[in-house]
Amino acid sequence: MDEARKTNREPGALNYAQVQSLDVAAQIAATARKSEYRATLLARGITDETLDALDTAVSEGRKEQAIAVENDTGQRVSTQEEKQARKELLAGLREVQTAARQKWARTEPAALKDYYIGENLPNMSRATLLQVTEGILQRLATQSLPGITPETVAALTEKRDAYVEANKNQLGFIAGAKARRAATLEHLKTATDLRIEVQFAADAAYSFDDPKNAPARTEFALPSNRRFVTR
């Protein structure tokens, strides 16, 4: 492959087209360092610095790929943590709503609106649910409900904070994976450009129309019966 290409993949999976491209580049660099080819390629401008840069691009590309996958794993874990935190927050809010019903349902039903009773909390967006939680916490700062102690309020606050933190972690992993994949593409482009440079030099040095060059052309991943071209 002559260019970095995107492929469809499951989240967290390696992009195997990129893996293969980096592997080919590494193999070409290793071949170019062989003693039987080194002097010939050096005469055509393939210096040690060129091959060092190619090796570095491959190495860094592989590192970025690995870190991107780690971020994908972190994202999946944090997504589950966020779901659990949301579940626990909803349970805490239901406890407060139950106490509000106990106190106000018969004597002052209009007060139930202060605790968002009748609203579909489980189907709320994250932002709306956090706003509702903040409203209830503010109400609890000035009103007492049966069975709702300062410890209960503190626990609800902790559940709110845990939900916020879980989402923050998830967004961090998403951003991290995106950044690492962008970095991978940059290293892959560098590796691809340098690999092609080496292949063009080898193509010129080991012409396809001379049968004795067949082994060399195979090692440099060059066509056996035509000039090397890129798409």
Q: Which domains does the chain have, with CATH numbers?
A: 16-219 (1.20.58)
The full 3-state SS of 42-87, as one line of letters, equals: HHCCCCHHHHHHHHHHHHHHHHHHHHHHHHHHHHHHHHHHHHHHHH
| Model pLDDT, residue 230 | 87
| Model pLDDT, residue 2 | 44
Angle formed at CA 203 by CA 25 and CA 59, multiple of 5 degrees? 10
- For each successive 10 residues of the chain (231 residues), what is the average pLDDT? 44 77 96 97 97 97 93 91 96 97 94 94 96 96 95 96 93 92 95 97 96 96 94 70
Cβ-count burial of 180 within 10 angstroms (0-12 exposed, 13-18 middle, 19+ buried)? Answer: buried
| Model pLDDT, residue 11 | 46
| Model pLDDT, residue 13 | 62
Kindly state the DSSP code that residue 8 receives in the 8-state scheme.
Answer: -
